[in-house]
Amino acid sequence: MSIAENIKQLKETLPQGTSLVAVSKFHPSTAIVEAYAAGQRVFAESRPQELLKKVQELPEADYPGLEWHFIGHLQTNKLKMVLPYVSLVQSVDSLRLLDEIQSWAAKNSRIVDVLLELHVAMEESKQGFYEEEIVELLFRAQTYRNIRFRGLMAMASNTDDFSIVEADFERADSLMAYLVDLFPELEDFNQLSTGMSHDWPLAVKHGSTMVRIGTAIFGGRAL
């Protein structure tokens, strides 16, 4: 199926209230143009250099409404390659990174929208905060004057056992509900970014408001 058909089908299947983020990493700008022509507006990249190249190839004047999210591990020395161009950083995975984003945003008189990456998977290698770290951090949310906390991002365990994947999504969803309840003053904290090409139906079942889909739109990635 074509990129346009994949997008159409996903949009028809996703419930209202769950938005589609097209993960375009490792795919050329021509593929993004195809998706844009099919009505897709939000794209996500995971590497600063690649994001920057595509931002330059797809100027806003020619592609009105096109938005970028960052979903990769972000090194603090790469902030200026990323933050000016993205509407959301989905992958804030450490206090150090959050502090550096705050400094950059204050210096540049910007408000940066972020999701906090929750560590739910069983793999030790996955990035992200533990639940109690997120609670602690959000008690101090007002001290991050240039950051708008928009919600959580989580990646489920990398396993064929869908009961484990489902449990990961359930945990993210229930933490989200707990945080919304605990921090009513964080009015924009309402996004739960869960679900990728192979597991998004389970994520949607457990409260996902934003799925991040690459392969099921663009096909396989040449690494």
Ligand X SMILES: *Cc1c(COP(=O)(O)O)cnc(C)c1O
To ligand X, the closest distance from the beta carbon of 44 in angstroms equals 7
Which of the 8 DSSP states describes residue 150? E
Q: Are 44 and 19 in contact (CB under 8 A)?
A: no
Per-residue contact string for residues 132-161; x = within reach of ligand X by CB under 6 A: -----------------------x------
214 binds ligand X (CB under 6 A): yes
19 binds ligand X (CB under 6 A): no
Which of the 8 DSSP states describes residue 129? B
213 binds ligand X (CB under 6 A): yes
Choosing from 3, 7, 71, 134, the residue that interacts with ligand X (CB under 6 A) is: 71
d(CA 69, CA 81): 13
d(CA 103, CA 114): 14
Ranges within 181-200 binding ligand X (CB under 6 A): 196-198
Q: Are 142 and 126 in contact (CB under 8 A)?
A: no
Sign (positive or negative) of CA dihedral 122, 200, 44, 221: positive
Token pair recorded at residue 218: 């663009």
31 binds ligand X (CB under 6 A): no
To ligand X, the closest distance from the beta carbon of 19 in angstroms equals 14
Residue 189 or 218 with smaller CB distance to ligand X: 218
Q: Which residues bind ligand X (CB under 6 A)?
A: 23, 25, 46, 71, 155, 196-198, 212-216
